[in-house]
Amino acid sequence: MNKQEKRKLPNHLQYDTVSPATKLLEKRRKMYEVHEAFEAQREEFKKQEDKFKLEEEKIRQKDMEIQESLIKFCKFLQDNEAKKKRAEGRLEEERRQKLQKEKEIQDLNGQLQELEKKQQKLEKKVTSMKKYEEYLDSVAKQYPEQYHDMASILERHSTLSSQNQKLVEEHQLMEKTYETEKYVSTQTEKDKNHEILQFNNDIKELQKKLEEKIVERNQLQQLVEASANEASSKNLSLGRILMAIDNLFNRCQEGTQKIKHELEEAKQDNNKKDDKKTKKDDSKKQQNKDEYKVEEEDNYEVKSQQAMQKLKIISLYLNDFKKIIQGCKEDYKKAQNK
Query: What does the pLDDT read at residue 295?
Result: 42
Domain ranges of the chain: 1-146, 238-337
Q: Which amino acid is at 118?
A: K
26, pLDDT greater than 80: yes
CA dist 282 and 263 (Å) reads 11
pLDDT tens column, 34-69 = 888 888 888 888 888 888 888 888 888 888 888 888
pLDDT band at 293 (very low <50, low <70, confident <90, very high): very low
Identity (one letter) of the amino acid at 238? L
What is the pLDDT confidence band of residue 31, given thresholds at 50, 70 and 90?
confident
Q: Per-residue pLDDT for 272 more than 80?
A: no
Whether the Cβ atoms of residue 138 and residue 124 lie closer than 8 Å to each other: no
In terms of Cβ atoms closer than 10 Å to its own Cβ (0-12, 13-18, 19+), residue 249 is buried
Please, which pLDDT band fits residue 255 given cuts at 50, 70 and 90? low
| pLDDT at residue number 201 | 92
Distant-in-sequence contacts of 112-117, Cβ < 8 A, 24+ apart: none
**DSSP summary character for residue 270:** S
| 294 — pLDDT class (breaks 50, 70, 90) | very low
